[in-house]
C-alpha cells in the first residue's frame, strides 16, 4: 500500500508538472525512477495512463479518471494524517477510566471535575469497580488499581499508598469503651468485609513497627465498604475501612478514629495503562494530571 501511494503521488506530480523530469526533480528522485512508478501502476491496472511522445504527454481516458481518483485519495490521506497529528497535539475525545469504588467516588471523581475544566474538549467515562479489569480486552485506556501488580504487559506508575484505619461512632464507644490496645478488639463488635480472605483477623502495625494479628468477630459482614460505614454510623461496631471513605465522617465528628497509632500496612496503589510509543494527547494529559494529584511524589504528606 505504501508503494501504491508513492506511485499515485508520483503520477499526480507528472500530470500536474507536465513532464517526468520536472516531477522527478520535485520528488528528489531520478526521471528513471519516476517512470518506474508510472509503469508499475499501468502494469497493475493493465491499462495505459499516458500517451507519451518526444514532445508532450497526454492523459488517456483511464488516466483522466485515475488522476481524479488519485487526487482524492491523496487528499484523504493528508487529511487523516493532519487529523491524527492534531489529535496528538490537543487533548480531545472520550477517555475510558476505571477505578476502585471508594477511591473513585471519594477522591477521583472530585478531581476529575478539575481535569474536565482544564481540558474542555475531553469527556471521561469512569467505571467504578473493585474487580481486576482487563484494560485492553474491555476497552479501557487507564486503570487505578489497589494492591500488587503482576501484569508485565502494562505500565504501572506508583500512586500514594492506600491507607486504612479503624473508627466507630461516639455512641458505640461511650457504651462499650474505647480500646487502647489491639488485644482489646476481641471484646468489641468489629465490622468487616465479607469478601476479605481473613475477615476474622486484622493485622495492625504499631507506632514502633511492631505487628499485631488480632482475632476479631462481629455479627454483621457486608461486601461493600460504604454499607459498613453506614452501619458504624448507626452504632453497630468498629469498622476497618479506607481513610478516603471515612474522612468526612471523622472530620464532622460522626465517627471517631480508634487506635490511631495502630493501622493496617498501607496498600500500594498504581496507575496502569498499555504502553504506546505515541499516546494521544488526551491520554498523556490524564496521566500527567493523575500523577500530579495522586502520584507517589505528590505534595500530600500522608498516604491516601
Please give the pLDDT value at position 301: 47
Please give the pLDDT value at position 302: 53
Residue labelled with grid coordinates 501484569: 151
CA 52, chain centre distance (Å):
57
Partner residues linked to 295 by β-bridges: 159
How many C-beta atoms surround the C-beta of residue 90 within 10 A?
15
What is the pLDDT of the chain when averaged over all its residues?
A: 87
The closest of 14, 54, 46 to 31, measured between CA atoms, is: 14
Highest mean pLDDT among 58-67, 127-136, 164-173: 164-173
> Quick one: angle between helices 20-27 and 31-45, nearest 10?
110
CA 272, chain centre distance (Å):
6
Residue 295 and residue 186 in contact, taking contact as beta carbons nearer than 8 Å: no
How many C-beta atoms surround the C-beta of residue 275 within 10 A?
8
Please give the pLDDT value at position 251: 96
Please give the pLDDT value at position 83: 65
Percent of residues, the chain, with pLDDT higher than 70 = 91
CA angle 74, 280, 109 (to 5 degrees): 145
pLDDT at 1 over 60: no
Please give the pLDDT value at position 87: 58
Residue 24 and residue 33 in contact, taking contact as beta carbons nearer than 8 Å: yes
Please give the pLDDT value at position 304: 64
Residue labelled with grid coordinates 511524589: 297
The closest of 135, 147, 127 to 196, measured between CA atoms, is: 147
The closest of 74, 79, 77, 98 to 290, measured between CA atoms, is: 98
Query: Which positions ≥6 away from 113 have C-beta within 8 Å?
Result: none
How many C-beta atoms surround the C-beta of residue 181 within 10 A?
13
How many C-beta atoms surround the C-beta of residue 79 within 10 A?
10
Please give the pLDDT value at position 114: 96
Please give the pLDDT value at position 193: 73
51 — pLDDT class (breaks 50, 70, 90): confident
Model confidence over 75-88: pLDDT tens digits?
A: 888 877 766 665 56
Model confidence over 22-40: pLDDT tens digits?
A: 888 888 888 888 888 988 9
Mean pLDDT confidence for 35-55: 85
Please give the pLDDT value at position 5: 87
pLDDT at 74 over 60: yes
277 — pLDDT class (breaks 50, 70, 90): low
Mean pLDDT confidence for 210-238: 89
136 — pLDDT class (breaks 50, 70, 90): confident
Between 112 and 302, name the one with better pLDDT. Answer: 112
Please give the pLDDT value at position 99: 95
pLDDT at 55 over 80: no
Mean pLDDT confidence for 147-172: 91
Amino acid at each position: 500500500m505504501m508503494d501504491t501511494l508513492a506511485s499515485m503521488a508520483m503520477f499526480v506530480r507528472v500530470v500536474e508538472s507536465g513532464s517526468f523530469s520536472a516531477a522527478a526533480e520535485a520528488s528528489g528522485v531520478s526521471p528513471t525512477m519516476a517512470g518506474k512508478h508510472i509503469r508499475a501502476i499501468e502494469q497493475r491496472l493493465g491499462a495505459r495512463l499516458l500517451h507519451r511522445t518526444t514532445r508532450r504527454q497526454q492523459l488517456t481516458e483511464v488516466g483522466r479518471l485515475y488522476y481524479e481518483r488519485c487526487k482524492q485519495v491523496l487528499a484523504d490521506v493528508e487529511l487523516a494524517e493532519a487529523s491524527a497529528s492534531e489529535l496528538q497535539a490537543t487533548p480531545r475525545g472520550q477517555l475510558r477510566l476505571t477505578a476502585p469504588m471508594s477511591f473513585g467516588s471519594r477522591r477521583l471523581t472530585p478531581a476529575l471535575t478539575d481535569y474536565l475544566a482544564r481540558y474542555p474538549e475531553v469527556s471521561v467515562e469512569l467505571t467504578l469497580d473493585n474487580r481486576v479489569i482487563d484494560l485492553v480486552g474491555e476497552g479501557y485506556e487507564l486503570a487505578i488499581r489497589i494492591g500488587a501488580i503482576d501484569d508485565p504487559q502494562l505500565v504501572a506508575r506508583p500512586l500514594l499508598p492506600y491507607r486504612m484505619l479503624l473508627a466507630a461512632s461516639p455512641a458505640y464507644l461511650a457504651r462499650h469503651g474505647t480500646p487502647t490496645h489491639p488485644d482489646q478488639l476481641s471484646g468489641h463488635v468489629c465490622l468487616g468485609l465479607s469478601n476479605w480472605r481473613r475477615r476474622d483477623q486484622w493485622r495492625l502495625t504499631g507506632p514502633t513497627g511492631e505487628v499485631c494479628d488480632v482475632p476479631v468477630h462481629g455479627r454483621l459482614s457486608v461486601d461493600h465498604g460504604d454499607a459498613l460505614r453506614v452501619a458504624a454510623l448507626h452504632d453497630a461496631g468498629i469498622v476497618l475501612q479506607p481513610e478516603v471513605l471515612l474522612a468526612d465522617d471523622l472530620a464532622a465528628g460522626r465517627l471517631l478514629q480508634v487506635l490511631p497509632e495502630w493501622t493496617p500496612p498501607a496498600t500500594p496503589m498504581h496507575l496502569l495503562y498499555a504502553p504506546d510509543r505515541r499516546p494521544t494527547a488526551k491520554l498523556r494529559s490524564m496521566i500527567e494530571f493523575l500523577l500530579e494529584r495522586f502520584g507517589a511524589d505528590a505534595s500530600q504528606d500522608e498516604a491516601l
